[in-house]
Structure 1
């Protein structure tokens, strides 16, 4: 084999590798980015609830409605501090406008509870201890759901890495010719096994609120041309190398 033939073969093999593994590489980047954003939201909510803990709840006078127990200035100050705390933590995450594009009260209603928005919206509603406890609980639930998502994203990252390594083994068997050096039937069996294991993982993955394993893929890869990166890579390898 001439030097030029060797270089050409290497180029073919590298082109094949990039073509087959492109969905996997992209998926790994998407998962890493999503995990970073979710962790930023966790940190922001935790910072917010720390700020809330520093606010002094109102104590209604005996027999008086909570909303009339403080001076107007005190109520305005508490409501303003609550909004400022939310703006400087949750609304200040780098990706907020790109991902959510919601007003403060819209985000409180969607991520915490519609019942919690009045104190953010009006100084006429008192920031009571009962309200503060409800706010703490809602934030805890928001953090818990995101921590579950982080766990699933980490599982997805490991799954992608394992599948990519196994597909790389099949590609390595092709050498520089672009064709496998073992019988095609064996290659098909290996690819079938990778596909089966990937689908088993998706089915076994714990649900996230309203998302099962397949719906998770639709969510996290919604901006891509494919929904299932591993199966897409397997299909490309079948078409290019095995069939």
Structure 2
């Protein structure tokens, strides 16, 4: 007897998602390092055609402004945009339109404030506060990624455990199905009935454990929390069933119950 399940496909889906999350985490780490390596400017620079007389140490006396703002003033923001495009963006747009504007992706990943600060239209300087805001946004995303990966790790363990139980039950059913009930004596039928009852209980326990897993929440600190059920809904959105384990085990319980009913009919006729 062969029972088709969705659990193996679910395990493949989780493994692929964990690989993608690991790649995204590394991308954010590279982006954060790139941002940290870009020099910041102390503040606004002179307008086109103006000069500033330097009286402090190291000012060099006079600094000329070119093109409306000093070239170095907004160069940092441009470099941040380029670093984002090279590291984070490919992972962010993998499931969306590849022609999504860069600043739209920045807004999606790092928030409105960072997107505004990095926009060429707003002509911001890459100041320490801007760099700090970007660093904080990156830290927040890394924390979210860590929590999501924790739910994926838990899902992988749950699927592995469920798969082992399902395999044991289906293997037993396949072996038992090779012996017709008519060839079994009364005591053998009674033992078959009890064995089926044990496996029904095992499956019902698995269902309860799985429900408990779905209601758990992964968190990191007080600000980041993610329910397992939300992760499952995302992972299996394109599956024919919303809950692969619950659907598979529920179907298996139905099969076991039908087998048990058939055994009981034979026991009743021979009593």
Same-fold call, TM > 0.5?
yes
For residues 150-161 of structure 1, the aligned pairs below 5 Å read 150-161=149-160
1:216 pairs with 2:212: no
Q: CA RMSD in A?
A: 2.5
User: Could you tell me which residue of structure 1 aligns to residue 95 of structure 2?
Assistant: 99
Distance 1:54 1:106 in 2: 24
Q: What is the count of residue pairs matched by the alignment?
A: 220
- 1:119 pairs, out of 86, 97, 117, with 117
Distance 1:179 1:163 in 2: 25
Q: Deviations over 1:188-233 (max 9, x none)?
A: 2111111011111211333695742322211121111112111111
CA displacement at 1:72 relative to structure 2: 3.5
Higher share of residues assigned strand? 2
User: Could you tell me which residue of structure 2 aligns to residue 5 of structure 1?
Assistant: none
Larger radius of gyration: 2
User: Could you tell me which residue of structure 2 aligns to residue 53 of structure 1?
Assistant: 36
Q: Contact 1:67–1:126 (CA<8 Å) still a contact in 2? A: no
User: Could you tell me which residue of structure 1 aligns to residue 255 of structure 2?
Assistant: 240
Q: Deviations over 1:16-39 (max 9, x none)?
A: 14x1xx311011011111111111
Higher share of residues assigned helix? 1
Distance 2:124 2:74 in 1: 9
User: Could you tell me which residue of structure 1 aligns to residue 204 of structure 2?
Assistant: 192
Determine which structure has greater relative contact order: mean sequence separation of CA pairs < 8 Å that are 6+ residues apart, divided by chain length. Answer: 1
TM-score by length of 2: 0.73
TM-score by length of 1: 0.81
Q: Contact 2:74–2:124 (CA<8 Å) still a contact in 1? A: no
Q: Could you list the runs of 5+ residues in structure 1 that have no partner in the other structure? A: 1-12
- 1:204 pairs, out of 208, 212, 216, with 216
1:40 pairs with 2:17: no
For residues 5-154 of structure 1, the aligned pairs below 5 Å read 13=1, 16-17=2-3, 19=4, 22-60=5-43, 65=44, 71-93=69-91, 96-101=92-97, 102-122=100-120, 124-154=123-153
Q: Contact 2:106–2:114 (CA<8 Å) still a contact in 1? A: yes
Q: Contact 1:173–1:182 (CA<8 Å) still a contact in 2? A: no
User: Could you tell me which residue of structure 1 aligns to residue 173 of structure 2?
Assistant: 174
